[in-house]
Structure 1
Amino acid sequence: MVKAVFIASSHSHYKDRPGEVYHFPKRQYMSRVAQTVGDWVIFYAGRMGGNRGYYAVQRVEKVVDDPVDATHAYAILDRSTLFDFENEVPRVDPLGNTYESGLPPSGGVNASAVRLISDADFSRIVNEGMREVSDAEAIPRHDGFSDIQTPFHVPSNFSEVRERILTSRAFRDASFARQVKRAYQARCAMSGLELRNGGGRPEVEAAHIVPVSENGPDSVQNGMALSGTIHWMFDRGLVSVDEDLSILIAKDSVAAPVADRLFTPERKLIVPDTFTLRPHEKFLNWHRANRFKG
């Protein structure tokens, strides 16, 4: 098994489904992608993809042929392992050195959509990407288990990265919560309220749209910032979100006067300005089909 960097872009002509499958031409990349099965890959977006740099990590489950194009194949990704970096990592570090050994600061092999990387380079990118960012929006709602603040530790070997960080539920929960609260500026996406206690802690919680128990990924696109009460209602299918971001309320679940107090007057979800931070339609579709009691 070998780790790799996969270049991904929202403007790609390939049939990628982010977080689910990575589409690629066999002739150029099959020999490389096949080596990543069972291991982790890092996603990178250059200038054509929004210049995000290294922005997420995920495990490759298997490789299958494209059923309609014999010259292409799909890397099937383990959806539950997708993890957005708290810091999007640029191509070069502050000293001007590339995070990938042997990669020039610009151009060259960057054009290769699949690049195999060493454990050391992988760990270096992951360390920077998962470095905790603390600000007013990301302060945990409570002390204790619900928002565990695991101290970041630069591991001495890759095994520790994989076991203690990449698969740590406590670390993932805390980082996911910080990223979602930051994306929504600590404001409830359904009520529009931004409430804080005396210590400046936001009242909102980070809600998974597709829950972890259903292999929902720890990606901001699978999350929303919701107040405690609305989070409880969302998890139980009393409320959901329509395709046009309208707030859906299950019939006979919430009295009209209560709904008027709980939700925005427009009954529209408040979403981040940045498109890549907004809830993805595939996750909202799942919630409507599998949770909503409307």
Structure 2
Amino acid sequence: MTFGVFIHRADSVYDDSPAERYQFPRMYLERASAMVGDWVLYYEPVKVRGSKGYYAIARVERIVPDPTAENMYVALIEPGSYLEFPNPVPFDHGGSPIERGLLNEAGRISGRAQAAVRPISPTDFDRILERGLAEEQPLLPRVGDVLRLPDLPLQMDEAPVPFVYEQERERIPALTTRTLRDRMFRRVVLRAYDERCAVTGLKLINGGGRAEMAAAHIRPVEHNGPDIINNGLALSGTVHWMFDRGLISLSDDLDVLVSRQVNDRDGVESLINKTGKLIGPTMQRDRLHPAFLRWHRENCFKR
């Protein structure tokens, strides 16, 4: 097994869905096969406007021939392993690539940087992961004490301590713990929505400097909903409660839908911003995926 890098862009011609699958041609089969059972970093090329660089991590479950395309293969992602970085990591760091294995003997970037599927050394992997998950300015939880986890220090009364990612393989499962993933998902979602409720439009910060917003999964984790920004909403407490219970939902055009079973329709409608539409992220690649919206309407929404 070996760590790897998958190059991906939102407008890719390949049939990719980062939290589920990654399509690639036969020429990369041997490299990708070595990554089965191990972790890969997703990387968005610098030529993409506003490139996120290294922006997510996932574990490759298996590789299968693509039944819809000749000489194409699909790396299937282990369910629940995909995790976006709260801090996307740029390709360049201090004038050289952060993925130092891309440098040739002359100290220049080699042709390996163009490979859509490539191995990455544990040292480079750790360096990128450390920056991607770092919490120098952690987003405080709504209530309670700041959570402290091994290797993810969040003490607010001390100098920032970097995320320490050890190379021993037994430490890697920490990336799949629900506690860590919920915290990282909240950071990604709230920052994409500017800590503003997507339905009311309100940005509420309490007396403790904490955003009064929750990060809601449109398709819940217990129903195989991934921790991906396109499956996330920033919602205030009351709106989150209504959304989870199917009293409100969203159309594919992002109109806020109100259930006919609501007993105070005027009150609910008064909470919706005056446009009647969701206030979503400004970046197109962060917008909600229609498949998740459809799932919520078909499985949660009380029509």
TM-score by length of 1: 0.90
Instruction: Quote the Cα distance in structure 2 between the aligned partners of 1:121 and 1:49.
Output: 22
Q: CA deviation at 1:224?
A: 0.8
Match of 1:201 in 2: 210
> Could you list the runs of 5+ residues in structure 2 that have no partner in the other structure?
154-162
Match of 2:234 in 1: 225
Q: 1:235 to 1:100 in 2, by over 3 A?
A: farther
Match of 2:83 in 1: 83
Q: Please, which moves more after superposition, 103-112 or 254-263?
A: 103-112
Q: 1:240 to 1:149 in 2, by over 3 A?
A: farther
Q: Deviations over 1:218-268 (max 9, x none)?
A: 222221110111111111222111100001112122422212322112220
Match of 2:200 in 1: 191
Match of 1:117 in 2: 120
Q: Deviations over 1:266-292 (max 9, x none)?
A: 220001111222222222222222222
Match of 1:162 in 2: 172
Instruction: Quote the Cα distance in structure 2 between the aligned partners of 1:284 and 1:133.
Output: 34
Q: CA deviation at 1:97?
A: 4.7
Instruction: Quote the Cα distance in structure 2 between the aligned partners of 1:86 and 1:277.
Output: 13
Instruction: Quote the Cα distance in structure 1 between the aligned partners of 2:74 and 2:212.
Output: 42
**Aligned partner of residue 183 in structure 2, secondary structure:** helix
Instruction: Quote the Cα distance in structure 2 between the aligned partners of 1:188 and 1:72.
Output: 42
Contact 1:139 1:178 in 2 (8 A): no
Match of 1:243 in 2: 252
Amino acid at match of 1:190: V
Aligned residues: 288
Match of 2:19 in 1: 19
Contact 1:79 1:216 in 2 (8 A): no
Aligned ranges for residues 52-67 of structure 1 at < 5 Å? Answer: 52-67=52-67
Matched, 1:134 2:137: yes
Report runs of 4+ in structure 1 exceeding 6 Å deviation.
none
Match of 2:186 in 1: 177
RMSD: 2.0
Higher percent of residues as helix: 1
Q: Deviations over 1:194-237 (max 9, x none)?
A: 22222222211111112121222222222111011111111122
Match of 1:43 in 2: 42
Instruction: Quote the Cα distance in structure 1 between the aligned partners of 2:102 and 2:261.
Output: 62
Instruction: Quote the Cα distance in structure 2 between the aligned partners of 1:103 and 1:281.
Output: 41
**Aligned partner of residue 81 in structure 1, secondary structure:** coil
Q: Percent identity?
A: 41
Matched, 1:148 2:151: no
Q: Deviations over 1:156-180 (max 9, x none)?
A: 324255122x112211111211221
TM-score by length of 2: 0.88
Instruction: Quote the Cα distance in structure 2 between the aligned partners of 1:49 and 1:214.
Output: 33
Match of 2:29 in 1: 30
Match of 1:101 in 2: 101
Q: Deviations over 1:61-96 (max 9, x none)?
A: 111111132211111112411110111111232363
**Aligned partner of residue 80 in structure 2, secondary structure:** helix
Contact 2:247 2:261 in 1 (8 A): no
Q: 1:45 to 1:246 in 2, by over 3 A?
A: same
**Aligned partner of residue 185 in structure 1, secondary structure:** coil
Instruction: Quote the Cα distance in structure 1 between the aligned partners of 2:69 and 2:206.
Output: 56
Contact 1:23 1:72 in 2 (8 A): yes
